[in-house]
Amino acid sequence: AQKITQTQPGMFVQEKEAVTLDCTYDTSDPSYGLFWYKQPSSGEMIFLIYQGSYDQQNATEGRYSLNFQKARKSANLVISASQLGDSAMYFCAMREANTGNQFYFGTGTSLTVIP
Amino acid sequence: DTAVSQTPKYLVTQMGNDKSIKCEQNLGHDTMYWYKQDSKKFLKIMFSYNNKELIINETVPNRFSPKSPDKAHLNLHINSLELGDSAVYFCASSLTDRGNEKLFFGSGTQLSVL
pLDDT, tens digit, 9 for 90 and up, residues A34-77: 999 999 999 999 999 999 999 999 999 999 999 999 999 999 99
3-state secondary structure of A36: strand
Taking CB atoms and an 8 Å cutoff, what residues of chain B touch A44? 105, 107-108
In this predicted structure, the answer to whether residue A100 has a pLDDT above a threshold of 70 is: no
Report the residue of A46, A51, A92, A103 to disrupt the B interface, i.e. the one with the largest count of B CBs within 10 Å.
Answer: A103
**Could you read off the pLDDT of A78-99 as tens digits, one per residue?**
999 999 999 999 999 999 887 7
C-alpha distances (whole Å) from B51 to each of A106, B74, B98 are 27, 11, 16
What whole-number distance in Å separates Cα of residue A68 and Cα of residue A76? 7
Instruction: Compute the nearest-CA separation of B81 from chain A (Å).
Output: 23
The alpha carbon of residue B6 is apart from the nearest alpha carbon of chain A, in Å, by 12
The single-letter code of the amino acid at B106 is G
A90: nearest Cα among A1, A4, A3? A4
